[in-house]
Amino acid sequence: MYSHASIVVALGALAAAAPQLPTLSAATAPIAPVRSSQVTGATSHGPYSGTPTVTGALTKPTLMATIPHLPAPAPSYTNANGLLQAPNQPVAYQPAGGIKTNGTEPYYHPLSDFDYESFTLALYQEWIELDLFHHGLARFSAAEFEAAGLNAEHRYLIEFMANQEVGHSTLLSNILGAAAPPQCTYNYPFTTVREFIDFCQRLTRFGESGVYGFLGHLDSQDAATLLLQSITTEARQQMIFRQFQGLFPMPVWFEVGIPQSWAWTLLAPYISSCPANTTRLAWQNFPTLAILDNPNTNAINPQINANASYNALNGSDPSPSTVLGNNYCVNATGATEDCDASISQNRTYPLSYPGRPIYLRWGNAGQPIGPNNSYITARSPVADAPRYAMFVNQLNATYVPLQNISGNTAVAIQPNTSTFAGDPTINGTSFIAITSSNIYVTPYNLSMINPFVYAGPALYSSG
Ligand SMILES: *[C@@H]1O[C@H](CO)[C@@H](O)[C@H](O)[C@H]1NC(C)=O
Ligand SMILES: *[C@@H]1O[C@H](CO)[C@@H](O)[C@H](O)[C@H]1NC(C)=O
Ligand SMILES: *[C@@H]1O[C@H](CO)[C@@H](O)[C@H](O)[C@H]1NC(C)=O
Ligand SMILES: *[C@@H]1O[C@H](CO)[C@@H](O)[C@H](O)[C@H]1NC(C)=O
Ligand SMILES: *[C@@H]1O[C@H](CO)[C@@H](O)[C@H](O)[C@H]1NC(C)=O
Ligand SMILES: *[C@@H]1O[C@H](CO)[C@@H](O)[C@H](O)[C@H]1NC(C)=O
Ligand SMILES: *[C@@H]1O[C@H](CO)[C@@H](O)[C@H](O)[C@H]1NC(C)=O
Ligand SMILES: *[C@@H]1O[C@H](CO)[C@@H](O)[C@H](O)[C@H]1NC(C)=O
Ligand SMILES: *[C@@H]1O[C@H](CO)[C@@H](O)[C@H](O)[C@H]1NC(C)=O
Ligand SMILES: *[C@@H]1O[C@H](CO)[C@@H](O)[C@H](O)[C@H]1NC(C)=O
Ligand SMILES: *[C@@H]1O[C@H](CO)[C@@H](O)[C@H](O)[C@H]1NC(C)=O
Ligand SMILES: *[C@@H]1O[C@H](CO)[C@@H](O)[C@H](O)[C@H]1NC(C)=O
């Protein structure tokens, strides 16, 4: 405990060097503990080579194969004149309506299995981010960061992002309660700084989108509010990693949401093992999808050698950085050809374009995946054949028929679609899945596609 006098003395010493600062003492409040400190948690990184003690997602008896469409009920509110429609309002300046605006005490915990499983998935995601950001900083030297265009101030920002994950994982653990999963050990797909940054950019993309997909569906809108306040910082992380890569920071008008099973499919391959008795998940692991000519984010011109085997990326794997020769964009001399860290950057050569052929290869159902290889890739009975590439980005899901299907491979042509005039839908790090059906879905019922997903998603570097 400092006495008031010693604070005044300390500030007095500061004031000698700096402009005069006020010397009133601030109010202080209790400091809440964190679930994980900076240095604890897993440090081993590599694949798992054991036999799992349990396998498969959590399940209960299922009621049906697909969820039937229900018509929307007649809206209980319409407003065509812009005036207050209710006969009165609860207090001055507060219009009638809203959820729990009537004084009901908030309850910041799951209210259903849907809520619990969604928050548990989000916590699995926060734990890997905490480990990943620390690991990248520890694994690569300052010189390696500098050679990739990232200086000490950039590295401090990554460190700060890791600290944010301490807060996020604590918040989610507190929301979940006693059985909240702990941190696991991870198996990362990068060997260079550029690949690390690209992997972070992709991982935060599906982390952010995975939460947007379920936030509005949660039974506990109270807890959803807290999660929203953490996922907005994750959204900033995603954009900052793009800036670190010298990519255009936000080439879209809307950020996309995806279903939980899509996020889990992308996340699980990078979790090596979890401690005994870690709470398990109920979401589906779809068969792996690889984009064989994924545009290389480290290339000046990503169309050169786009089809080379090193650009065949499973799921959320990063673009390789050491194979490009003089097509490597770090320190390239043209103002729009280099990809050093930058607030904003035009590209001379686009990552992708409408009409681009996208070569796809999918894995099989029944493959072990995820922590301890204890989950099994699966497709539902109605995912009976690969028929469409489904492009999901911004507000839109667009189906393109697969062509030249041969074994586990096919080709799809990047579509030419827009959200609204002037905004091409497919830009930034977007999602592609293989489906058996092209049912019409919109952002709030996107998960209706899940029974028809044949493989994927995979992340497509577009724009
Ligand atoms: C996963 O591996 C860890 C480390 O070997 C072990 O402690 C844990 O019990 C395993 N969990 C499962 C589900 O096999
Ligand atoms: C207060 O609002 C909540 C949700 O908006 C509702 O469930 C509850 O019935 C309301 N309570 C009263 C006393 O009106
Ligand atoms: C890029 O330029 C910086 C500054 O000159 C240098 O330190 C770094 O090694 C260069 N990186 C590459 C990949 O050429
Ligand atoms: C895992 O749970 C079982 C059953 O509750 C218990 O017997 C065992 O001690 C637990 N193991 C660990 C490592 O916590
Ligand atoms: C790209 O590779 C796929 C298979 O990976 C092959 O079918 C296709 O012909 C190749 N396209 C070009 C333009 O090389
Ligand atoms: C960046 O791209 C935009 C859109 O194509 C263009 O209008 C602008 O002139 C470019 N700026 C630079 C500095 O290249
Ligand atoms: C995409 O569609 C727009 C609007 O119809 C059109 O102007 C543009 O030429 C199309 N681009 C390609 C590559 O087909
Ligand atoms: C990509 O996924 C396929 C199918 O699941 C698998 O056989 C292959 O080993 C994976 N490749 C990499 C580089 O992880
Ligand atoms: C499909 O295969 C045919 C025959 O090999 C070829 O002419 C065509 O270009 C292929 N389609 C695509 C989109 O690659
Ligand atoms: C994309 O979604 C927006 C918003 O729902 C919609 O207005 C637009 O028509 C969609 N674009 C396409 C090509 O379907
Ligand atoms: C999803 O919602 C749209 C309206 O936004 C509706 O037209 C469509 O039929 C729904 N899809 C399914 C599979 O229920
Ligand atoms: C993606 O967005 C960037 C930045 O606005 C733009 O320069 C580029 O043309 C877009 N790409 C496509 C395919 O629309």
Q: pLDDT tens digit string along 81-137?
A: 999 999 999 999 999 999 999 999 999 999 999 999 999 999 999 999 999 999 999
Q: In angstroms, what is the span from residue 135 Cα to ligand 5's centroid?
A: 36
Please check the confidence at residue 39 and state whether its pLDDT lies above 90: no
**Whether residue 374 has its Cβ less than 6 Å from ligand 1:** yes
Q: In angstroms, what is the span from residue 428 Cα to ligand 7's centroid?
A: 18
Domain ranges of the chain: 113-462
Ranges 33-42, 51-60, 62-71, 287-296: which has the least confidence = 33-42
Count CB atoms within 10 A of the CB of residue 253: 15
Higher pLDDT, 26 or 229: 229
Please check the confidence at residue 3 and state whether its pLDDT lies above 60: no
Please check the confidence at residue 198 and state whether its pLDDT lies above 70: yes
Rounded Cα–Cα distance for residues 418 and 416 (Å): 7
- Would you list the DSSP string of 46-65? S---S--SS-S--------S
Please check the confidence at residue 162 and state whether its pLDDT lies above 60: yes
**Whether residue 418 has its Cβ less than 6 Å from ligand 7:** no
Q: In angstroms, what is the span from residue 221 Cα to ligand 4's centroid?
A: 33
Higher pLDDT, 445 or 331: 445
**Whether residue 279 has its Cβ less than 6 Å from ligand 10:** no
Averaged pLDDT for residues 209-215: 98
pLDDT at 35: 86
Q: Are residues 313 and 290 in contact, defined by beta-carbon separation less than 8 angstroms?
A: yes
Ligand 6 interacting residues, C-beta cut-off 6 A: 336, 346
Residue 303: what residue type?
Answer: Q
Ligand 5 interacting residues, C-beta cut-off 6 A: 292, 307, 359
Contacts for 264 with CB less than 8 Å, ≥ 6 apart:
121, 124, 210, 281, 283, 284, 285
The CB-side HSE value for 111 (13 A sphere, CA atoms) comes to 11
If phi > 0 it is left, if psi is from -120 to 50 it is alpha, else beta; for residue 385 that is: beta
3-state secondary structure of 420: coil
**Whether residue 353 has its Cβ less than 6 Å from ligand 12:** yes
Q: What is the mean pLDDT of the chain?
A: 93
Nearest CA to ligand 1 atom 8: 276
Rounded Cα–Cα distance for residues 237 and 38 (Å): 18
pLDDT at 13: 44
Tell me which fold the domain 113-462 belongs to.
Ferritin (1.20.1260)
Percent of the chain with pLDDT over 70: 94
Q: Are residues 396 and 417 in contact, defined by beta-carbon separation less than 8 angstroms?
A: yes
Q: Are residues 273 and 290 in contact, defined by beta-carbon separation less than 8 angstroms?
A: no
pLDDT at 15: 42
Question: Phi/psi at 397 (nearest 5 deg)?
Answer: -120, 120
**Whether residue 354 has its Cβ less than 6 Å from ligand 7:** yes
Confidence tier at 17 by pLDDT (50, 70, 90)? low
Any idea which ligand is nearest the CA of 404?
9
Q: Which of 352, 353, 416, 426 to mutate to test the pocket of ligand 7 (most atoms within 8 A of CB)?
A: 416
**Whether residue 445 has its Cβ less than 6 Å from ligand 11:** yes
Tokens of 171: 């918040």
Residue 130: what residue type?
Answer: L
Q: What are the pLDDT digits (tens) for 238-255? A: 999 999 999 999 999 999
Rounded Cα–Cα distance for residues 311 and 308 (Å): 6
pTM over 0.75: yes
Q: Are residues 339 and 413 in contact, defined by beta-carbon separation less than 8 angstroms?
A: no
Closest approach atom of ligand 4 to CA 277:
1
Nearest CA to ligand 8 atom 14: 314
Give the max Cα distance, the chain: 80
**Whether residue 415 has its Cβ less than 6 Å from ligand 1:** no
**Whether residue 276 has its Cβ less than 6 Å from ligand 4:** yes
pLDDT at 38: 55
Nearest CA to ligand 12 atom 12: 463
Nearest CA to ligand 12 atom 10: 463
Helix axes 152-176, 113-139, angle to 10 degrees: 150
pLDDT at 427: 97
